[in-house]
Structure 1
Amino acid sequence: MVRSLRKRRRRRLRTVALIGIDGSGKTTQAHRLADALTAAGRPATYHRNAGGRRWLGRIAQRVGRSDAQRLVGRDGLLAVESVLRWLAIAAALVSCLLTGRTAVMDRYAACQYASIRAHGGHRWERLARAGYRVFPRPQVTFLLAVDPAEAYHRIERRGTDHETMGWLTAADTAYRTLPEYPTFVLVDAGRPAEEVSRQIQRHLAGWLPSADAGETAEATPAMPPDPMPPARPVTPDHTPAPGVATPLAARAHT
């Protein structure tokens, strides 16, 4: 058992994805995670794999349309999103392959599948999955779960864009109905940002190098999910109990 855990620890952490509805804190947490991994000796790069919906929305408003869908239509929006996100993910993966750095993905393929479902364009999902199949599944995918009402208030407070409660609720449902949902690591993103960061970092602590691999392997049960395990929430405890992995920054200096 210990030998198996040691073997898994020696695998290089190549890709981590953070997904969730708008207002769940993906961008903030992805930046923090990239910085934390780098500080802990696992060089990482942040990648924002946006689909261009916000950019299209701004163009729409300038020409007198209320949103991106009113500008290019539902099918046009889904097509543009799918292509732009595909290109962004491809560029991020190639970059990290060349540099050897860990890719911290702010959004990934699952975000496009959820967007398609939330828009009701289910026939597009099959096409999107065919195109995105070339990308490897991230070793860890964090789903930042937050109540749509809280997400709505966060978006309104930042004041850079706008989403309706109907859209946020539909997107939340879409993520939870994806076939990949059981493989996601659920994070309580309704908590303060510092606590959310600790949840995420504690789960990834097992990927970091350690002076005593055997001792750490036994003390770190939080490992990358095996194919299709039950969805697992990350425990949001403030202080790790004995036998629970500590945050990345702490592990870096031990």
Structure 2
Amino acid sequence: MPGRGLFITFEGIDGSGKSTQARLLAEGLREAGRDVVLTREPGGSPGAEEIRRLVLEGDPDRWSAETEILLFTAARRDHLERTIDPALKAGKVVICDRFADSTRMYQGLSRGDLRPVVDQLHALMIGREPDLTILIDMDPEIGLSRAKGRRGTEERFEDFGLELQQKMRAGFLSLADEFAPRFRVIDGARAMDAVAAEIRATVDRALA
């Protein structure tokens, strides 16, 4: 019988380094013999990747907040069915770059008081929280500068500017208090290796 799976998510403002740290964690756990699935949101399954292109490209005002919530929930449902749940049932470690906490912030908080809508849809259609959430905390100005430095086609939310970054940082820290048992806040202002070492120690404790 497979062992117990573990669902780990990475959260933080744009440019916080969470994607890099998620990759480093996955590589380290694989080297240690763990069976790991590294995935992302929006995306992580064929249908969800199609929705990713809809929500992350184009004009910042392309969609209303309500429409975005529906799109992200649809993508997350497909991702859950096709990638996350099967891996966890097989006893794998699933590491996901963003999950529902990002929707609670970017759609539920940043563009109106829609957090109750996000939570209602999440309860109805998703019904799962991570076992462990790594929040990489970062100064918003530094994060935005980093994010702008890697500009590509997926930049809608970066184009909302510094005010959004500041609001999101405060919101994520508030979420860490609200869901304290599963959140670990990591200082992302340090050297990459130091951040990675703290994250690995945190995850090793969760896997013990």
TM-score tier after normalising by the smaller chain length: 0.7 to 0.9
Q: For residues 177-188 of structure 1, what are the structure 2 equivalents within 5 Å? A: 177-178=174-175, 180-183=178-181, 184-188=183-187
In structure 2, C-alpha distance between the alignment counterparts of 1:133 and 1:180, rounded to whole Å: 19
Pick from 111, 115, 118 the counterpart of residue 119 of structure 1. Answer: 111
8 A contact 1:187–1:200 mirrored in 2: yes
Determine if contact 2:13/2:168 at 8 Å carries over to the other structure: yes
Gap regions ≥5 residues in structure 2: 44-50
Q: Which consecutive unaligned segments of at least 5 residues does structure 1 have? A: 1-10, 61-65, 210-254
Q: Is 1:29 aligned with 2:21?
A: yes
Are residues 1:102 and 2:102 paired? no
4+ runs of 1 displaced by more than 6 Å? Answer: none
Structure 1 residue 145, shift from structure 2 partner: 0.7
Which has the larger Rg?
Answer: 1
Contact 1:20 1:145 in 2 (8 A): yes
Instruction: Evaluate the alpha carbon distance shift between residue 192 and residue 127 of structure 1 in structure 2; reply closer, same or farther with a 3 A threshold.
Output: same
Shift of 1:105: 1.4
Same amino acid, percent of matched pairs: 23
Task: Pick closer, same or farther for the CA change 1:143–1:96 going to 2, 3 Å.
Answer: same
Q: Give the corresponding residue for 2:68.
A: 77
Q: Aligned partners of 1:90 and 1:197: how far apart in 2?
A: 29
TM-score by length of 2: 0.79
- Across the aligned residues of Structure 1 and Structure 2, the Cα RMSD in angstroms comes to 2.4
The aligned amino acid for 2:200 is Q
Q: Which residue matches 1:167?
A: 164
Matched-pair contact (CA < 8 Å) for 1:19–1:111: yes
**In the alignment, structure 1 residue 44 sits paired with structure 2 residue 27:** no
**Deviation of 1:173 (Å):** 2.0
Greater RCO (CA < 8 Å, at least 6 residues apart) = 2
Q: For residues 97 and 123 of structure 1, what CA distance do their matches in structure 2 show?
A: 28
> Is residue 80–residue 126 contact of structure 2 (8 Å, CA) maintained in 1?
no
Deviations 1:208-237 (A, max 9, x none): 67xxxxxxxxxxxxxxxxxxxxxxxxxxxx
